[in-house]
Amino acid sequence: MSEPRNLSIDGNRLWNSIMEVAKIGATDKGGSRRLALTDLDREARDLFVTWCKEAGCTISIDQMGNIFARRPGSDPDASAVMTGSHLDTQPTGGRFDGVYGVLAGLEVIRTLNDLGTETERPIDVVVWTNEEGSRFAPSMISSGVFAGEFTLEHGLSRPDSDGLTIGEELQRIGYAGDEEVGTRAVHAYFEAHIEQGPILEAEDKTIGVVTGAQGQRWYEVTLTGVESHAGPTPMDRRKDALLGAARLVELVNHIGLDNAPNACATVGMIDSYPNSRNVIPGRVFLTIDFRHPDAEVLTQMDTDMRDGLDAIAATIGLNLAIEQILDLAPVHFDESCVAAVRQATEAQDYTLRDMISGAGHDACNIAAVAPTSMIFIPCIDGISHNEVEDAKPEWITAGGQVLLGAMLELAGVK
Ligand code: HGY
Ligand code: MN
Ligand code: MN
What is residue 1's predicted lDDT score, i.e. its pLDDT? Answer: 40
Over residues 363-379, the mean pLDDT reads: 98
Other Cβ atoms closer than 10 A to 73 = 21
Task: List the beta bridge partners of residue 266.
Answer: 289
Residues with Cβ within 6 A of ligand 1? 131-133, 139, 359-360
DSSP code per residue over 98-131: THHHHHHHHHHHHHHHHHTPPBSS-EEEEE-TT-
CA distance 344 to 405: 5
102 C-alpha to center of ligand 3: Å? 13
Q: Which residues pair with 352 in a beta bridge?
A: 207
pLDDT for position 7: 82
Atom of ligand 1 nearest to the CA of 360: 3
State yes or no: pLDDT of 249 exceeds 60: yes
> What is the per-residue pLDDT for 58?
98
Is residue 248 within 8 Å of 312, Cβ to Cβ? yes
- Measured in angstroms, how far is the CA atom of residue 41 from the centroid of ligand 3? 14
Identify which of 163, 132, 127, 122 has the alpha carbon closest to the alpha carbon of residue 146. Answer: 127
- Global pTM? 0.95
Q: Which of 132, 217, 383 to mutate to test the pocket of ligand 1 (most atoms within 8 A of CB)?
A: 132
33 CA distance to ligand 3 centroid (A)?
12
| Span 81-120, pLDDT tens digits | 999 999 999 999 999 999 999 999 999 999 999 999 999 9
* HSE-up (13 A, CA, CB side) for residue 235: 1
Q: Report the DSSP beta bridge partners of residue 375.
A: 192, 209
Beta bridge partners of 11: none
Distance 187 CA to ligand 1 centre (A): 25
Mean pLDDT of 58-70: 98
Distances (CA, A) of 59 to 55, 123, 263: 11, 12, 40
Average pLDDT of every residue of the chain: 97
Ligand 1 atom with the shortest distance to the CA of 131 = 6
pLDDT band for 413, please (50, 70, 90 cuts).
confident
What percent of the chain stands above pLDDT 70? 98
Atom of ligand 1 nearest to the CA of 97: 5
For ligand 3, a single-atom ion, which residues have Cβ within 5 Å?
Answer: 97
Residue-range domains of the chain with CATH: 4-214+330-411 (3.40.630.10), 215-328 (3.30.70.360)
Helices 11-22/39-54 angle, 10° precision: 150
